[in-house]
Structure 1
Amino acid sequence: MPHHKLIARLQAVGSLLEQDQVRLTGMPYKVRSLADGEYVLRQGDKPGSCIVVMSGLLSRQRVVNARNQISSFYIAGDMPDLPTLHLPVADCELCSVGKSTIAAVPHSCLREMMKESSGLTHAFWRETLIHAAIYREWVENLGSRQALGRVAHLLCELTVRMDFVGLADNGSFRLPLTQQDVADACGLSIVHVNRTVQELRREGLIEWQNQILTLLRRKELQDLAEFSPEYLHELNPSRGSP
């Protein structure tokens, strides 16, 4: 059910009244399973619904100067195209990374819920602002850090976000990214990504095998990445700490 992870996500960064949780539980939706590399949204599309990620991973991306650039990843509980409620033409593409499952909730339903509840209006607005903050952090990550810091920062962020919705177990979670995905997200070549991941392994900071990532020395990895989770705006930042 899509509302479980959505409620967990919204509760992690705010608070929801019981009646608002009931509204989310009762919202209509259509479930769709996506194969690896399958697109759910194309630039220029005019969707009539918003997506809730139920499982797996989506990437937000665009082709710039013949190179694919990933500008965010979305995990269970995220609504990656929430801005289409007010900006009807999609300005990016959403693609499944590995297999994923999504639920499409009609715009009309979301508008009606927000008309009935100022709490949900604030929750969705806050979610949009947080994703904008994540985007700004990605811009700074690409512009200011060397390869090791870029990759480390990405892994730290995904770990905290997985913590938010209960998908990380003591710093370990499923992460189906390929080296090409990491390269597209960090503005690096595949060769550079391979060397960087190997260095993180040699230093004993991470273990990444069979699509399972484990942060072995989380504090050291965060220090290397100059990572601070404040931009993610979790209400209980002590959760998931090393």
Structure 2
Amino acid sequence: MMASFFDQFMSPTLLGIPLLAMAMLFPLILMPNPTTQWMNNRFTTLQTWFLINSTKQLFLPINMTGQKWALTIMSLMMVLISINLLGLLPYTFTPTTQLSMNMALAIPMWLSTVLLGLRNQPTTSLGHLLPEGTPTMLIPPLVIIETISLFIRPLALGVRLTANLTAGHLLIQLIATTAFVLLPLMPTIAVMTTIILLLLTLLEVAVAMIQAYVFVLLLTLYLQENI
């Protein structure tokens, strides 16, 4: 039995070498290879349909300047979805349960949107720090609060993704352990617990996809503010 429920979130190592980078490369197996045909199979067709509709949904309110980011943001969403879903398989490791990795994705993307806004429309970007019509006495505290809110955004992106996936994996581990313990003692309760575990697994599949979508959705909202 595992010494700790949190051992499943430790980065796998081989001869002392972290295998986090290798775990992140495995989702590339699911990506279709380019061919001369428009549609190879049903899986490629489903991926294409999903990408087209997601791109339309995310970039509909964004102008042509922001739509140049579509390839980068949609690629990020596909990588996050693939990593999250593969992490639900037995004896696997989910890199997105590591806060360091999520922050490494969130900070550069958020900073890029902020720098883009400061370069293209500095007055409008700085104007977000102070609402129009603010009384003079409230200007200093409001600027401080809005600045803190601005710098908290990448932290919120990374922590949201980490916390949701970690909580889901821990809950699955706890319910699975309960089912194993109750099986020889109370088989009926163990079967009911297993049914709950299967339902929770389906919920986690949805959470894995939704959290990746929310991650890129917030990035597009930040991009929309700065273009």
TM class by shorter chain equals under 0.3
TM norm structure 1: 0.27
Looking at secondary structure, tell me which structure has more strand per residue: 1
Give 1 or 2 for the bigger CA radius of gyration.
Answer: 2
Looking at secondary structure, tell me which structure has more helix per residue: 2
Q: Which has the higher contact order (CA 8 A, sep 6+)?
A: 2
